[in-house]
Every structure is written in C-alpha cells, then in structure tokens.
Structure 1
Amino acid sequence: MTIQRAHDDILKLILAAEGGTEQIDAAIRAVGAERTAAILADELVNRADLHEIPGPGTAGVDIQLALAFEGGTVHHVVRVGKSAEHEAGRVDAPHATLESDLAELLRSVLGPWRGVEAQTLRIVWHDLENVERLGGTMHVFPVVRRLVRGTTGRHEDLGELSLRNGSDKWGLHFYTPHYDRHFGPLRDRPLKILELGIGGYGNPASGGGSLRMWKRYFPRSVVYGVDVFDKAPLREQRIHTVEGDLSSAEFLESLGRDLGPFDIVIDDASHGNADLIAAFKALFPYVRPGGLYAAEDLQTSYWPGYGGSSKELNSPATSMGFLKALLDGLNHEERELPEGTTASETDLTLTGAHFYPSLAIFEKGVNAEGASASWIPRQQMSYEEMSAVDWGEGLTADKD
C-alpha cells in the first residue's frame, strides 16, 4: 500500500468519525472493514505503551478483537511479547477478547475526545477458570486495561509525552508548557502538522521523538517530518517522513505546494539563521488561517557560528532581528508606509506573535481590523487643545 493511500484512508476515517452513523458506515465501506480494524488496532497499540508493562516479554499475551459490522464480525489479534504487534485473523486460545461494534469503536478512537465512549465494548476473559494459566499471565489485565484506555479520549500531558518519546522539547528545552498553551485548543481537530528537522543525523532509524510526541498529542492528525537525511524507517501510521534539503528554496516551495496547507508548522531544523528565515518566508504562506507557526532554538540568533550576532541585535540577517521586524506588520494599518509600497502578505495575515526563551509562535489569520477612526488625532494634543475640541455627544469620556 502506498503512503498516499494510507494517508487517504486514515484521513477519511478521522473526518467520518465526527459525523453520524451513515457517514461512518460509508467511510468504513470505502476503506474496508478489515483495513479499518487494522487502523484502529494500530492506534490502540500506539496509545497503550505496552512496553512499560513487566511480564509480556517472557510470557506473551494474545488479545483477540471481534468487531461487528453490518451483520458480520471482523477479527484482528494484538500480540504482546517483547514487542507489540497486530494482524488480521483469529487466534486459537486468546487470553482475552475485546468485543465491540466497529463503527462505535471508530468513533471512540478517532472521533472528538469529548464524544461518547464505546458503550458496547465488552471484555471476555478466557483464563479465569484456569488457575495455572492465569497465574502465569496476570499481566493480561494491564495489557487489556491499556488497550481499552485508548478508547476513552484521555488527554495526555505534553511534557510527559516528550520524555516518553525521546524528544528534547522538555528537559533540554522547556517548550512544552508554551506549546500546550497554544496547541491545546487545537488538539482535538483533524490537523496537518509539519515539523522541520527529525533528529538522529545520518542514522535512518534514529530520531523522530518529536514526531511520535505530536502523533500522541494530536490523536486525530497527520504528522509530516522533514530532514536532510533519509528517515523512511521512522514512518508509521499518521507519521510520514520526507527527505530534502531545507536550505533549498525550490525544495521549501515544493513542501508547501505538494503537502500544504498546514495547520501547524514547527521549525526545529538546522537552527541556522539564514535557514530559519528562508523557511518562514516559504512556509508561512502555506499555514491555514487559524493555524500556527513555531520557530525553535532562537538562541542561535546571538551565535556567530550560526549566522547570528550579539552586537547587531536588530539585523534582519539574524533570526530574532527578522522575527522582531514582523511585529510592526501587526499594526500595518496604522503605519505610514513609504510611498509606492503596500503591506506585505505577511503583514496582511500575521495576527499574533508570542515570544518565549528561544521560542516564538506566530498566529495566522486575516489582519484587517481597520485603522483607527480618522477623527482620532495623529498628533499628541495638550490638555488645552483637547478641551477646545468639540468631540460630540458621547465622545467626552476619558481621552487619556
């Protein structure tokens, strides 16, 4: 199955999970009941963190999924041992069976987290009467509990997800509280997220901690990661990697054109000042209205080795100098622009900017509130001059 097909399938199910029964059933038919069961099993296994449970590595656990759909039953099995895997089919002697309606499970796993939880979910234990077998597989209970937890819409702490998945966004940095403040209101939506920089350098199987963190934090979203090295081994459901040189203007343009628009863009790439500036110029236009653009590791704006400067703090060649200059665009309607110039596209679409240590987050929208009323003086007036003005009835309130 191609990456694009997998992306289309998961997105189709995510969007359908917000709708009614007919819409959900139609999406399952389009994707296929067995494919839908595999997608849901993968999500449940990913959310369960089954590697944290002691025991299954020495005594494996088989959990049978029996999912009803349109008069039939789709069978899928989750196998937990040294690793957690899943596949279509039935197992002869499962330790437990999870029975549910397939459409209802889809809604509870990929639908809005405040939605109704799976009401028909039933757990069948197969070893309660076999004391000897049960005694050797007591960890079946936490395995099942963690799988079921994935249907409850439980929101997880971003800092904890950072540590668990090997991201440096909490600990080496302390970005997660700021991200949670800005990203939190969006985490229940079906988003498209782009992160520049995957980590792990030339090792194809190394890095990707932040991609996995975002996948868990945004349970209804697709996450794209871009790196100069091939990171194909890190691809998994809802995580796609792209190889390319972010210092190339042509490649940056292709990212936006081929993969955008994006709801969130996070620049955690080379941290070179010129690269950060080029990425913002190329990709901010591809952020959706209401979306966010984050630039990390802005401390390099002061480091000459990255093209920064601690002396020329407002130089437009440094990342902070460039980003600070954007702030005047927030008030472009109040400025007297040089003759022959107009507001830039960024001026017209930048609606908010938030700066934190080594991090900046920008809001995208429509910046067209209109200038202040023409009768408001553009020159500061003395109290005597203000007293002489006929402000009109209702306009004599405080003129501080």
Structure 2
Amino acid sequence: MTVPLTECERHPMTQLGSTPRAALDRMIAGAGAGRSQLADIVDEIGPVQVTDIVIAELGHRTELRGCVPADTSLLFEHRGKIFGVLARAGATGEFEATRLADPTAADPDVTVEQSLSEVVASLFGPRGTAAAATRSIKWRDTDAVFGVSLPIFETVRRILDSIDRPYALGLGELCVAHGSDKWGLHQYTQHYESHFEAIRDRPLTVLEIGVGGYSDPRRGGESLRMWRDYFCRATVFGVDIVDKTALSGQRMTVLRGDQSVPADLAEIVRTTGLLDIIIDDGSHLGSHIITSFRALFPALRDGGWYVIEDLQTSYWPSFAEHSGDHTKSPTAIDFVKTLIDGLNYAEADNRTDRDTDAQIKGLHFYHNMVFIEKGANRGAGAPQWVRNA
C-alpha cells in the first residue's frame, strides 16, 4: 500500500513544529558530525520527518527527464526500523514519491536500502562525507538484468547520484538547468564560482534581492533554486516587492519586501538572522542599492560577501532617478567608488570616516558587478613625514 505525500510533506519545512528552520539547521549541522551523533539528531527530529526531508531534497536535486518510469523502492533504516517510499519518474521527468505504509509489501522494479543517517550525511554533509557502506540494491528480476544494460539503470543511477555526488554540478550547469540569467547574456557564474567554490559545503545563510518573474506571483525563483542546489547545506532566502511566497520550498524561503524601505529590510533580517552572502539583483536603481546596502551590510557576518549585480544601469539614462540626469543623485557606481576610498581610509587625510571603512577588507570588480568582502580593515597608514616628504 502506498500513501501519497501531502503538499506539506513535500515541503517539510512547514512540518517540523514551531521551529522548522531550527530542526532543519540541526540536521544539516549534524550531517557534518559523526554517525552516532547524527543518529541521535534523527531521533530528536523524528525518522519519519527526516525521511520526508530527504525525499523533498531528492525531489529537487534529481533530474529524471528522458528516464523510464521505473518503480524504485527507497528504504531507509534507522534503529532497526524501515521507513520507505516508492519513487519514479513523472510524466515530465520530475521525481515523484509516495510513502510506503508497509515497505515489505511493495513489489518494485528495484529496491535500494540504506541507513537513514548515512543518506542524510551524504545529502547534507560537507565534501567527502558521502558514503554508501550500508547500501544494498536488489532487482526484482535478476535474470533480466544479468549481463545487460537496461533503461531502468539510468533512472536508478540518477537517483543515487543525487545522494552520492551532491557537489558534482558546477554553477554554470545549475544556472542553465534552472533558467537563471546569470549565465548567457551575463557571464556572472564564473566570478561567483571563483569566490564561492571554497565555501560551497558550509552551512550558509544566503539572501538574494529580486526573485524574478516581474508581477506574476507564480513566476521567478530561478536563481534561488540555483543557489539552493549549489550550496547543498545552505538556507536560501529571496525578497521581492511582489508577493512570491508561493515559490517557497525546502531550504528556500521567499519573503515580501521593498528594498528601498529600511523598515522592510529590518524585518527581513529579523527573519533570516545573520547572513553569509547577500546578492542585490533587485531594481538596479542607485538609491535602492544604496539603501539596501546600508540596511543589510551590518547583518553580514565577518568573512561574508555582499554582491551587487548589473552595475551597468548606473550609466543608462533610463535608470537615472531625476529625469535622466545622473548628477542629481548618486548611482551605484558612484557609491562603490566611495568604498574604494574607504578601503584606503588610513592613507587619506581630511576625509570623513564612514562606518564601513574598517569593515570592508576587499573589493573585487568585474564587468557589471562587484564583490564586497566583509572583514577587519584596520591597517595603519604611512607616517605623516612620508606623506609630506
């Protein structure tokens, strides 16, 4: 007997009690610990809920387009008990799953059994954590699969690759797969990878301003999905002036807010907590970019990154906020140029200090974008006699 997963079960962040994010964060943190500690965390959250989280994660990581709709029984063992689901490729290649009320009664094409803790460690752990020591694979018709390669193999391989190789796909591949515009007309992914690849397997909190899809509440989220799948242990937030909260899912929450309103941004930070990465891909108006930076930069952790995209709009009359006259208000480019002065504040005489001067340790400029690196910038300037020599 199979029991279809409800919509809440497909997005189990809504199912983990009064503090759903805390439970998911606990599991992600535990995925980097030892197996015995992780097993205790599974006990705390509950193996049924953890199974739902695993299946929801496989649902967005597994691409089954072109695969045969083979029935795959996924059985997860925990403390001697089995928690099972029946997975298959849907009509359009999506990963579909239904819970097995009696895992022993199913008659699938293939049965994969593995320790639940081992699967969690593989999906949500840092690099090098993935393992399949407890896994067994049993084919229903051994004679049919002996010595031949069958289409069902590709279906099962892709499901298991989603568990075993969480960091296999590069950002460019994920960008194109999800339909984000950060690769194509823009070539942003190469720069993101150069800065983010080293921290890809950390339990990060990421915020992107601008969800996409314009005024349609059901469209957008392409870049958020890309970040969710690139940072396998991250919690990803998006914010948009249009209500796109319906796009939220596991490890991806969409909030509504106006990036030009400090009160909205303060409320967003109360929801997200401290941030590791902030990306401004919002309105691209200079005043909005400056307001967002001033409101959000204090919430960025030391060692974090603040990225501003599409700086080319600073040169476009259509984005000037005073009848095409850029001289009447600072553009985003004007603003980030002041950050360069701040980076070298210790060398400049007769300059008014800014709060960010001692908090920005690096600025990395590329075509139409800038990466701002938060960290201590307290180096002493040259002695006065050298400056006046």
**TM-score higher than 0.5:** yes
Q: What residue in structure 2 maps to residue 86 of structure 1?
A: 97
Q: Do the aligned partners of residues 182 and 308 (structure 1) sit closer, same or farther apart at CA in structure 2, a change above 3 Å counting?
A: farther
Task: Please tell me whether the aligned partners of residues 159 and 176 of structure 1 are also in contact (alpha carbons under 8 angstroms).
Answer: yes
Q: What residue in structure 2 maps to residue 6 of structure 1?
A: 20
Q: What residue in structure 2 maps to residue 152 of structure 1?
A: 164
> 2:301 aligns to what SS in structure 1?
strand
Aligned counterparts of 1:47 and 1:103: Cα–Cα separation in 2: 19
Task: Please tell me whether the aligned partners of residues 314 and 320 of structure 1 are also in contact (alpha carbons under 8 angstroms).
Answer: no
Aligned counterparts of 2:355 and 2:36: Cα–Cα separation in 1: 42
The answer to whether structure 1 residue 355 and structure 2 residue 379 are counterparts is: no
Aligned counterparts of 2:111 and 2:174: Cα–Cα separation in 1: 29
> 1:266 aligns to what SS in structure 2?
strand
Aligned counterparts of 2:354 and 2:55: Cα–Cα separation in 1: 47
> 1:355 aligns to what SS in structure 2?
strand
Aligned counterparts of 2:328 and 2:70: Cα–Cα separation in 1: 60
TM-score (norm 1): 0.85
Aligned counterparts of 2:106 and 2:201: Cα–Cα separation in 1: 38
Amino acid of the structure 2 residue aligned with 1:111: G
CA apart distance, 1:112: 0.7
The answer to whether structure 1 residue 377 and structure 2 residue 383 are counterparts is: no
Amino acid of the structure 2 residue aligned with 1:11: D
Aligned counterparts of 1:256 and 1:129: Cα–Cα separation in 2: 58
CA apart distance, 1:88: 2.5
CA apart distance, 1:315: 7.6
Query: Could you list the per-position Cα deviations for residues 269-299 of structure 1 after superposition, in whole angstroms to 9, with x for gaps in the alignment?
Result: 1111111111111111111101101101111
The answer to whether structure 1 residue 203 and structure 2 residue 252 are counterparts is: no
Aligned counterparts of 1:15 and 1:61: Cα–Cα separation in 2: 34
Aligned counterparts of 1:39 and 1:119: Cα–Cα separation in 2: 21
Aligned counterparts of 1:78 and 1:138: Cα–Cα separation in 2: 18
Task: Please tell me whether the aligned partners of residues 65 and 77 of structure 1 are also in contact (alpha carbons under 8 angstroms).
Answer: yes
Task: Please tell me whether the aligned partners of residues 313 and 321 of structure 1 are also in contact (alpha carbons under 8 angstroms).
Answer: no
1:320 pairs, out of 314, 325, 333, with: 333
Query: Could you list the per-position Cα deviations for residues 142-169 of structure 1 after superposition, in whole angstroms to 9, with x for gaps in the alignment?
Result: 1110111122233311111111101000
Task: Please tell me whether the aligned partners of residues 16 and 24 of structure 1 are also in contact (alpha carbons under 8 angstroms).
Answer: yes
**1:253-268, aligned counterparts within 5 Å?**
253-268=266-281
Task: Please tell me whether the aligned partners of residues 33 and 69 of structure 1 are also in contact (alpha carbons under 8 angstroms).
Answer: yes
Structure 2's unaligned 5+ residue stretches are 1-7
Task: Please tell me whether the aligned partners of residues 302 and 308 of structure 1 are also in contact (alpha carbons under 8 angstroms).
Answer: no
CA apart distance, 1:363: 0.2
> 1:103 aligns to what SS in structure 2?
helix
Q: What residue in structure 2 maps to residue 179 of structure 1?
A: 192
Task: Please tell me whether the aligned partners of residues 204 and 229 of structure 1 are also in contact (alpha carbons under 8 angstroms).
Answer: yes
Task: Please tell me whether the aligned partners of residues 257 and 268 of structure 2 are also in contact (alpha carbons under 8 angstroms).
Answer: no
Q: Greater CA deviation, 101-110 or 299-308?
A: 299-308
Aligned counterparts of 2:233 and 2:216: Cα–Cα separation in 1: 29
Q: What residue in structure 2 maps to residue 383 of structure 1?
A: none
Aligned counterparts of 2:379 and 2:198: Cα–Cα separation in 1: 23
1:366 pairs, out of 373, 376, 381, with: 376
Aligned counterparts of 1:119 and 1:334: Cα–Cα separation in 2: 58
Q: Do the aligned partners of residues 244 and 358 (structure 1) sit closer, same or farther apart at CA in structure 2, a change above 3 Å counting?
A: same
CA apart distance, 1:316: 6.2
Task: Please tell me whether the aligned partners of residues 62 and 95 of structure 2 are also in contact (alpha carbons under 8 angstroms).
Answer: no
The answer to whether structure 1 residue 106 and structure 2 residue 120 are counterparts is: yes
CA apart distance, 1:255: 1.6
The answer to whether structure 1 residue 121 and structure 2 residue 135 are counterparts is: yes
Q: What residue in structure 1 maps to residue 70 of structure 2?
A: 61
> 1:10 aligns to what SS in structure 2?
helix
Query: Could you list the per-position Cα deviations for residues 126-153 of structure 1 after superposition, in whole angstroms to 9, with x for gaps in the alignment?
Result: 133468xxx9x94321111011112223
Aligned counterparts of 1:159 and 1:320: Cα–Cα separation in 2: 26
CA apart distance, 1:116: 4.6
Q: What residue in structure 1 maps to residue 3 of structure 2?
A: none
**1:161-180, aligned counterparts within 5 Å?**
161-180=174-193
CA apart distance, 1:75: 1.5
The answer to whether structure 1 residue 250 and structure 2 residue 250 are counterparts is: no
Amino acid of the structure 1 residue aligned with 2:157: R
2:236 pairs, out of 211, 220, 223, with: 223
Task: Please tell me whether the aligned partners of residues 37 and 102 of structure 1 are also in contact (alpha carbons under 8 angstroms).
Answer: yes
Aligned counterparts of 2:180 and 2:244: Cα–Cα separation in 1: 16
Query: Could you list the per-position Cα deviations for residues 319-355 of structure 1 after superposition, in whole angstroms to 9, with x for gaps in the alignment?
Result: 10011111111122222245xx5x3221111111011
Query: Could you list the per-position Cα deviations for residues 346-395 of structure 1 after superposition, in whole angstroms to 9, with x for gaps in the alignment?
Result: 111111101111111100111113334x4872234xxxxxxxxxxxxxxx
> 1:155 aligns to what SS in structure 2?
coil
Aligned counterparts of 1:74 and 1:289: Cα–Cα separation in 2: 41
> 2:298 aligns to what SS in structure 1?
helix
Amino acid of the structure 2 residue aligned with 1:117: A
Amino acid of the structure 2 residue aligned with 1:19: A
Task: Please tell me whether the aligned partners of residues 300 and 308 of structure 1 are also in contact (alpha carbons under 8 angstroms).
Answer: no
Say which one has the larger Rg: 1
2:205 pairs, out of 181, 192, 197, with: 192
Aligned counterparts of 2:359 and 2:138: Cα–Cα separation in 1: 55
CA apart distance, 1:42: 2.2
> 1:291 aligns to what SS in structure 2?
strand
Aligned sequence identity (%): 37
Amino acid of the structure 1 residue aligned with 2:369: L
CA apart distance, 1:14: 0.6
Task: Please tell me whether the aligned partners of residues 155 and 217 of structure 1 are also in contact (alpha carbons under 8 angstroms).
Answer: no
Q: What residue in structure 2 maps to residue 303 of structure 1?
A: 316
Amino acid of the structure 2 residue aligned with 1:237: Q
Task: Please tell me whether the aligned partners of residues 113 and 152 of structure 1 are also in contact (alpha carbons under 8 angstroms).
Answer: no
Aligned counterparts of 2:321 and 2:179: Cα–Cα separation in 1: 28
Aligned counterparts of 2:344 and 2:143: Cα–Cα separation in 1: 73
Task: Please tell me whether the aligned partners of residues 45 and 147 of structure 1 are also in contact (alpha carbons under 8 angstroms).
Answer: no
